Amino acid sequence: NAGVTQTPKFQVLKTGQSMTLQCAQDMNHNSMYWYRQDPGMGLRLIYYSASEGTTDKGEVPNGYNVSRLNKREFSLRLESAAPSQTSVYFCASSEWGGTNEKLFFGSGTQLSVL
Amino acid sequence: QKEVEQNSGPLSVPEGAIASLNCTYSDRGSQSFFWYRQYSGKSPELIMSIYSNGDKEDGRFTAQLNKASQYVSLLIRDSQPSDSATYLCAVQRGGSNYKLTFGKGTLLTVNP
């Protein structure tokens, strides 16, 4: 049972390069999320997708774009990477996104932008 | 600015002791409260959730909620070295689907 799968696990970019982080879940969840985690900052929501075909901004969306490709997949794109985007990125999913729901996290992507 | 505050630690306790982790929040509209455990280099996993004032027990873990004082705590009884991790408090406003606000986490170390 894979749960939430993220790729890649590690990535190093130069300033200005672009890349896409991939996320897929096999739990038939409707809602998916992208978080970033920085030392001393906790987890912060970048974007979320309440259901297939919808996406919305979270707390820190600037510099990112997302695509909910289908019910299983939710990708995060950095169009022009900046050193401030060096972070650990987590994809997560939940059944409906309502209150009281458990989030299931992927294993994370450690991104360094030089 | 809705905030969730946690003591960053590290909190160090001997094996077998009770570890007490605290969290305060600023949004009085908060309705759902969660504790996630995160081992070093791993992803967070949910260990407790609580929605009503009072205590909720699950095995060695007890979550306590006091909405009037705006704090939530996690007690770990008979602490084990395997409990050594960062504990993240997360809060969700009532009706605010999809959006959790996380604290910065408290690092707990249980010494054998």
Residue B55: count of CB within 10 angstroms of its CB:
12
pLDDT band, very low/low/confident/very high, at B112 (cuts 50, 70, 90) = very high
C-alpha distances (whole Å) from B14 to each of A34, A64, B58, B82 are 36, 44, 21, 12
Residue of B nearest to A108 (CA): B43
Q: Residue A98's pLDDT is what? A: 77
| A98 vs B15, more confident | B15
Give the rounded distance of the alpha carbon of B108 from its chain centre. Answer: 11
Interface of A with B in 7-66 (CB under 8 A): 31, 33, 40-45, 48, 50, 56, 58
B98 → closest Cβ in A50, A105, A106:
A50
Separation in Å, CA of B97 to nearest CA in chain A: 5
Q: Which of A91, A96, A101 to mutate to test the interface with B (most CBs of B within 10 A)?
A: A101
8 Å CB contact of A99 and B100: no
Percent of chain B with pLDDT over 70: 96
pLDDT band, very low/low/confident/very high, at B2 (cuts 50, 70, 90) = low
8 Å CB contact of A99 and B98: no
Which residue, chain included where needed, has tokens 């799968």?
A: A5
Structure tokens at B47: 């260990």
Q: Which of B31, B97, B106, B107 to mutate to test the interface with A (most CBs of A within 10 A)?
A: B97
- B5-27 pLDDT per residue, tens: 998 889 999 999 999 999 999 99
- B77-100 pLDDT per residue, tens: 999 999 999 999 999 987 767 788
A43 → closest Cβ in B31, B97, B102:
B102
- A61-85 pLDDT per residue, tens: 999 999 998 999 999 999 999 999 9
Which residue, chain included where needed, has tokens 């999809």?
A: B98
Residues in contact with B61: Cβ distance below 8 Å, sequence separation at least 6, in sequence order = B35, B47, B48, B74, B75, B76, B77
Contact B84, B110 (CB under 8 A): yes
Which residue from B36, B11, B21, B19 is spatially nearest to B91, judged by alpha carbons?
Answer: B36
Model confidence at A94: pLDDT above 70: yes
Separation in Å, CA of B67 to nearest CA in chain A: 16
Contact B65, B33 (CB under 8 A): yes
